[in-house]
Structures are given as structure tokens and as C-alpha cells.
């Protein structure tokens, strides 16, 4: 039931986006809609969507938001109650911002709804708290699988990010949930991979050194991107700048960038697909890297609800593509830049989430190309290690630490030790 609810919500969320964009703009996606629109429309419509998102944010300002951080606490500690109604309002706010061109990921609402649905159904059937926590994990996995059509990566996301440790009681229900959610999503939306089938060439074992370089570049790009978003949150967090005007100002900033680079509208799916297909020039990729960085910061930091998971994939893909193109232009015998873009995607998301296994599986499932598995595994390991050297927190544990929860699972810490450490964390630490 949790898996069906998560899949149905994902299908409805994505379908509503497509329906509105096709009905109003006559386009298949938000990037195509913005590309064909007048400049004043590109500038103004993101402001309206962000304003609506800000109004909805006011309605749930004093209630638990059901973000990924809340999901992690609910599964590991069992002390956070995920409100389904709050999650629905937050999802509606995210939908309003995304459909009007906000530079946001749509995976956030889908993941959060799956977790909230798990807890709500658990409460409805009056099962034990431990069983409810398992349902939350399963619902989170189902939401991730429905968002990206990647069942194995969804499992890895729950194990590496949500629980932080392999718990067999969570693995089995989550496996069943991702199968159901993925099957339902594929039946309605279509089979994967969502970015299309690709075949990338690794010319020699020595090229692995080049992929190691991509990992470092993409890790720096992802680390810089997430820190820039944090700086943006401080800038938009002025006491005199309140919702919904704060979100509207962020929408104006994103709209100003979309006027000149319409491809940054939305979560980044369309330009990523073009980059992997080799249909985007080097100059445009460089512009996309900077523009997406700025537009997403403007949308996210101003308070419009939505994820940054897919935008980070685009940042990493652009960085990897540029490295691959530079190597090719220098006369080295390397594969096509699209392969480097895929490795850059994996490295960036690994650096941001500190989840190398999930990142490698995700990008393998997104491409369907086995030849790139070794570069993916190498790059995600290097990127994660480098990112941890730069900063101890991922994008999710930083959110928890900001509210006083120390999330530090290690090889010497069992799940109970981790919970106790988190539960007793000093909010001032």
C-alpha cells in the first residue's frame, strides 16, 4: 500500500506538470516552454510561482516539513512525526515553483511523500513504532524509485543516506516497495533509463586516471555549489525579507537568468539529456554550469520548496563534460565527453550526499551502460573521500546538525550507538 501510494503520487505529480505545461504553453517540458516564450514571460512567471510557493510556506511555517532530514530522524530515532497533510502542502508549493520554471528538483516531494505515507498508514493500522519506521524507510525508497526509475539506487539511498547502516529489517520491505513503485511508474510513464540508453567507451585502463581527475573536479563543483546555496540562504534570511516576498525575489532572480538561458528552468533533466547525447556545445555547457548554479541558488535559498538532487547532477555533468572535452582537445585518446559527463554526475552527487554506492548505481541505472561501471565506482569513491576531507557533513547531515542532531555512523558504531549519540547531541555543538 505504501509503494502504491508513493508511485501514484509520483505519477500524478509528474503528470500534472506535463498537463499544465502542454495545455498553457503547448510544449512537452518547461525548458521548451521557456525557450519559446517572450523574455518578459520568462522573467515574470517564475516570480508568480515562487510567490504562490511562499504563501503556502506561510501556512506550514510552524509545522514539521517532512524533509529528508526529518525522514532520517524518523527512521533512525523514531522521534519525528511526519505529517502527510504538511507534506502535501509543501509538495503543492514545490509543484507551483517547478511548473513556473523554478530551478528546483522534483525528487524532494516524491521522496518526502513516500516517507510520510509510510508513517500515516502505519498509524492507521496501529502497528508498532519499529514497524512504522520500517514503513517510512520503504516509502522513502519507493518515492526515490518512482522519481528516477532506479530501484537499486533507491535501495542504496535508504541504506547509505536514510539509515546510515544496513538493517535487514529495513532491506526486505524496501526491496518489495521499490519493485512495486518502479513497476507501476514504468507502466504509466515508460521504461527506463530515463535519460535514454547510452554506450560510452573506455579506451584503456589508463583512462581511469582521467576519470579520477573528473571526480576531483566534480567534487569541488558540488561542494562549492552546496556552500553557495548556504550563503544564499543567509542572504535571503534577512528579518525584514519575509515570505512570500522572499520567495518572489528568488523567483525574480531565477527568471532573470532564464531570460538569457532558458535551459536552466526546471530541475535540469532536459539539458542533462542533451549533454549525455552529445548535442550541446562546450560553450553552452560552460554557460549552463554557471547559470544553473546561480538560478538554483536563487530558487532554493529564497525558500521555494524543492530538491537540489537533480540540479547537482547537472552541475556534475557539466563539469565532467568540460573535463572530457578539454582532454579530447588536447589530443589525448579518450572517450566521448558524454561518458565524462555521466561520471561527473555520479561524482557530484556522491560528494554532496557522501553516498558513493548509491551514486554509482544511480548513474549506471540512468545510462544502462555496463562499460562505465569501473569509472563510476572509482569516481564516486574519490569524490566522497575528497568531499569528506573538505567538510564532514553531507547536504542531509548538515541539515540535521543545524538543528542539533549529530549524525555520525562509523565502522565502530552500531545503530543503537548512533541513535544514542544523535539523541543526546548538544544543540549548541
- Spans of all domains in the chain: 2-189, 207-402
The CA radius of gyration of the chain, in Å to the nearest whole number, is 20
pLDDT band at 282 (very low <50, low <70, confident <90, very high): very high
- 318 or 405, which is more confident? 318
Quick check: 215 pLDDT over 70?
A: yes
Stated pTM of the model:
0.87
120-142 pLDDT, tens per residue? 999 999 998 888 889 999 999 99
**Nearest in space to 144 (alpha carbons), one of 3, 252, 34, 49:** 3
Mean pLDDT is lowest, of 26-30, 79-83, 403-407, 408-412, for 408-412
Q: Residue 277's pLDDT is what?
A: 87
State which H helix or E strand residue 14 sits in: helix 2-25
Specify the CATH architecture of the domain 207-402.
Answer: Orthogonal Bundle (1.10)
Percentage, residues of the chain above pLDDT 90: 57
**Nearest in space to 103 (alpha carbons), one of 325, 299, 339:** 299
The residue with cell 582532454 is 327
Q: Residue 159's pLDDT is what?
A: 86
Quick check: 205 pLDDT over 90?
A: no
What are the residues whose beta carbons fall under 8 Å from the beta carbon of 153, sequence distance 6 or more? Answer: 144, 145, 358, 361, 362, 365
- Are the folds of 2-189 and 207-402 the same? yes
- 424 or 22, which is more confident? 22
Mean pLDDT is lowest, of 47-51, 247-251, 254-258, 308-312, for 308-312
What are the residues whose beta carbons fall under 8 Å from the beta carbon of 423, sequence distance 6 or more? Answer: 77, 79
Percentage, residues of the chain above pLDDT 70: 90
Cβ atoms of 82 and 115 closer than 8 Å = yes
Q: Residue 196's pLDDT is what?
A: 64
Helices (H) and strands (E) in the chain, counts: 19, 0
> If one looks up domain 2-189 in CATH, what number appears?
1.10.3080.10
Q: How far is 380 from 415, CA to CA, in rounded Å?
A: 24
Burial of 341 (0-12, 13-18, 19+ CB in 10 A): buried
Q: How far is 242 from 54, CA to CA, in rounded Å?
A: 9
Q: What is the mean pLDDT of residues 264-272?
A: 92
56-109 pLDDT, tens per residue? 988 877 665 557 778 888 887 776 788 888 899 999 999 999 999 999 988 888
4-43 pLDDT, tens per residue? 999 999 999 999 999 999 999 999 999 999 999 999 999 9
pLDDT band at 422 (very low <50, low <70, confident <90, very high): very low
Amino acid at each position: 500500500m505504501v509503494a502504491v501510494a508513493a508511485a501514484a503520487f509520483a505519477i500524478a505529480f509528474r503528470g500534472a506538470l506535463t498537463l499544465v505545461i502542454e495545455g498553457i504553453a503547448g510544449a512537452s517540458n518547461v525548458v521548451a516552454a521557456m525557450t519559446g516564450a517572450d523574455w518578459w514571460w520568462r522573467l515574470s512567471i517564475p516570480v508568480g510561482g515562487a510567490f504562490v510557493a511562499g504563501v503556502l510556506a506561510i501556512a506550514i511555517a510552524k509545522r514539521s516539513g517532512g524533509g529528508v532530514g526529518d525522514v532520517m530522524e524518523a527512521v533512525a530515532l523514531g522521534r519525528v512525526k511526519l505529517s502527510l497533510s504538511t507534506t502535501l502542502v509543501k509538495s503543492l508549493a514545490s509543484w507551483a515553483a517547478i511548473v513556473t520554471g523554478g530551478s528546483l528538483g522534483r525528487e524532494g516531494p516524491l521522496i518526502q511523500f513516500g516517507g510520510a505515507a509510510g508513517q500515516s498508514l502505519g498509524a492507521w493500522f496501529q502497528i508498532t513504532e519499529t514497524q512504522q519506521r520500517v514503513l517510512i524507510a520503504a516509502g522513502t525508497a519507493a518515492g526515490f524509485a518512482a522519481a528516477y526509475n532506479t530501484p537499486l539506487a533507491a535501495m542504496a539511498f535508504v541504506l547509505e543516506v536514510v539509515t546510515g547502516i544496513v538493517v535487514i529489517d529495513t532491506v526486505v520491505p524496501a526491496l518489495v516497495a521499490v519493485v512495486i513503485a518502479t513497476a507501476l511508474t514504468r507502466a504509466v510513464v515508460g521504461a527506463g533509463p530515463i535519460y535514454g540508453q547510452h554506450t560510452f567507451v573506455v579506451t584503456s585502463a589508463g583512462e581511469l586516471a582521467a576519470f579520477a581527475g573528473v571526480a576531483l573536479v566534480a567534487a569541488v563543483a558540488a561542494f562549492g555549489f552546496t556552500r553557495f546555496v548556504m550563503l544564499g540562504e543567509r542572504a535571503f534570511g534577512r528579518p525584514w525579507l519575509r515570505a512570500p516576498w522572499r520567495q518572489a525575489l528568488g523567483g525574480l532572480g531565477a527568471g532573470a537568468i532564464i531570460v538569457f538561458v532558458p535551459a536552466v528552468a526546471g530541475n535540469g533533466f532536459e539539458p542533462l539529456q542533451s549533454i549525455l547525447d552529445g548535442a550541446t556545445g562546450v560553450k553552452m555547457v560552460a554557460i549552463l554550469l554557471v547559470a544553473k548554479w546561480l538560478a538554483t541558488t536563487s530558487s532554493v535559498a529564497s525558500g521555494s520548496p524543492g530538491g537540489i538532487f537533480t540540479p547537482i547532477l547537472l552541475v556534475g555533468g557539466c563539469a565532467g563534460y568540460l573535463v572530457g572535452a578539454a582532454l579530447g582537445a588536447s589530443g589525448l585518446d579518450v572517450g566521448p565527453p558524454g561518458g565524462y559527463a555521466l561520471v561527473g554526475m555520479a561524482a557530484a552527487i556522491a560528494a554532496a550526499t557522501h553516498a558513493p554506492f548509491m551514486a554509482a548505481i544511480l548513474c549506471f541505472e540512468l545510462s544502462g551502460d555496463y562499460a562505465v561501471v569501473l569509472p563510476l565506482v572509482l569516481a564516486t569513491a574519490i569524490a566522497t573521500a575528497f568531499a569528506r576531507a573538505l567538510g564532514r557533513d553531507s547536504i542531509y547531515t548538515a541539515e540535521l546538525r543545524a538543528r542539533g542532531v549529530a549524525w555520525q555512523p562509523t565502522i565502530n558504531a552500531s545503530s543503537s550507538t548512533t541513535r544514542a549519540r544523535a539523541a543526546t547531541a548538544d544543540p549548541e555543538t
